[in-house]
Amino acid sequence: MNFDSLFSSTNISASGLSAERYRMEVVANNIANASSTRSAGGGPFRRQEVVFAAMLDQSLGNKSGSIRQASHGVRIGPRLESGGVQVVGTEDDSSALHRVHNPGHPDADADGFVTLPNVDLPVEMVNLITASRAYEANLRALQTFRQMAEQAIALMRH
């Protein structure tokens, strides 16, 4: 066992921490723009989703550190040694935008309807809680590794 493989679990957990932190930022941005009828791209804000990819261990013979696409926790391809997770990017949610009748709104169309973002606050809150729990799980794994390492060092001292 080499030194790098000893700490691979910490790298996996650290990549999970980073990915989940980014997911919480995207969810917070969705919540902040839940009623934005104008965006930089024109039209109402579109809900964003984070796309993750599993990083495969470079010890499998692929020196480039291949990435298998995985979205929403779906595993793609055969089971391989994991090297963590990385954020590939964000995608716009293509679900239908909400329309409400509000003729006094400055962005209302000729029929008095306003097109609102496709952000549903209960869904975003569930996503935020899920990301928070995943973050906590990765943090707990790091803390457990640290405790085990401290105990091993204490045993080696005696």
pLDDT digits (tens, 9 = 90+) for 63-103: 444 444 444 444 444 444 568 899 999 999 999 999 999 99
Query: Quick check: is 21 in a domain?
Result: yes
Mean pLDDT, range 1-18, rounded to an integer: 80
Query: Quick check: is 10 in a domain?
Result: yes
Query: Quick check: is 43 in a domain?
Result: no
Query: Quick check: is 73 in a domain?
Result: yes
Mean pLDDT, range 43-52, rounded to an integer: 95
Query: Quick check: is 112 in a domain?
Result: no
Q: Which helix (H) or strand (E) holds 49?
A: strand 48-56
pLDDT of amino acid 88: 93
Number of domains observed in the structure of the chain: 1
**C-alpha angle with apex 131: 128 to 135, nearest 5 degrees?**
135
Query: Quick check: is 124 in a domain?
Result: yes
Query: Quick check: is 42 in a domain?
Result: no
SS3 label, residue 66: coil
Query: Quick check: is 53 in a domain?
Result: yes
Residue 84: domain span = 3-34+48-92+119-157
Residue 84: CB atoms within 10 Å: 22
